[in-house]
Amino acid sequence: MTRILLTRHGQTIWNIEGRVQGSLDSPLTEKGILQARSLAVRLRNEGIERIYSSDSLRAIGTAEEIRCELGLETITTNPALREFAFGEWEGRIWQDLREENPDVFRIWDLQPHLVTTPSGENMRLLMERAWNYLQQILKLHAEETVCVVTHGLTLKMIVTKALGFKVHEWAKTPWQHNTALNIFEVVGQQWTPRLIGDCKHLDELEMN
């Protein structure tokens, strides 16, 4: 059995600003760093042997907090774990895009899997690239415990696939908040969920 722990990066400046990130980047906020540290402490006794991360700096920064807490030597990064490529939308304010493209966002709000962003990608392509890379991780680290740090929509699509749902069934899985934790046990092609989208490590942080 292989254990896969999947999580999202901490809060960023662009998260606060309501700005599209995608393959572009934005630094972790002070709160985002604290979220990552709280997650790292929570993961202390999970027996994690490897850490994989998107090559975006916000994901690497989160993975680095985990690496330091666990005393591991390296993080392996790969662009296959990047966020959804929003193309020409990246760097823009979400609300501005909504006002400029009402017809597109009427579809995006109800059936986002039908939208390919300008010069970007769609949810099917996102799911395929992330899932295919996870299969490589599983082959390399059979019987190990691996932590994967990625992004909100990417993580949601991975969890959707892991739970046996199709792309168009994305709404059946919960949104993945900053540093949300998902734990799966994998035997062959069977992914068994042990925890989905959990943020209890942030409870004390949110109260302060």
| 190 bridge partner residues | 187
Q: Predicted confidence band at 204 (pLDDT cuts at 50, 70, 90)?
A: confident
pLDDT of residue 208: 56
Domain span including residue 132: 2-207
Alpha helices in 71-151 (DSSP H): 94-100, 102-110, 123-140
CA nearest 193: which of 202, 181, 203? 181
List, for residues 111-134, the tens digit of each pLDDT value. Answer: 999 999 999 999 999 999 999 999
**What is the tens place of the pLDDT at every residue in 77-98?**
999 999 999 999 999 999 999 9
Rounded Cα–Cα distance for residues 13 and 30 (Å): 9
> Is 168 noted as a catalytic residue in this protein?
no
CATH number for the domain harbouring residue 199: 3.40.50.1240
| The total number of structural domains that make up the chain | 1
Q: How large is the average pLDDT for residues 19-26?
A: 96
Instruction: Write down the catalytic residue from 141, 151, 168, 177.
Output: 151
Q: Which residue out of 9, 113, 141, 201 is catalytically annotated?
A: 9
Q: 201 catalytic, yes or no?
A: no
In whole angstroms, what is the distance from residue 139 CA to residue 178 CA? 28
The C-alpha atoms of residue 75 and residue 123 are separated, in whole angstroms, by 26
Structure tokens belonging to residue 53 = 């991360």
Q: Confirm whether pTM is higher than 0.85.
A: yes
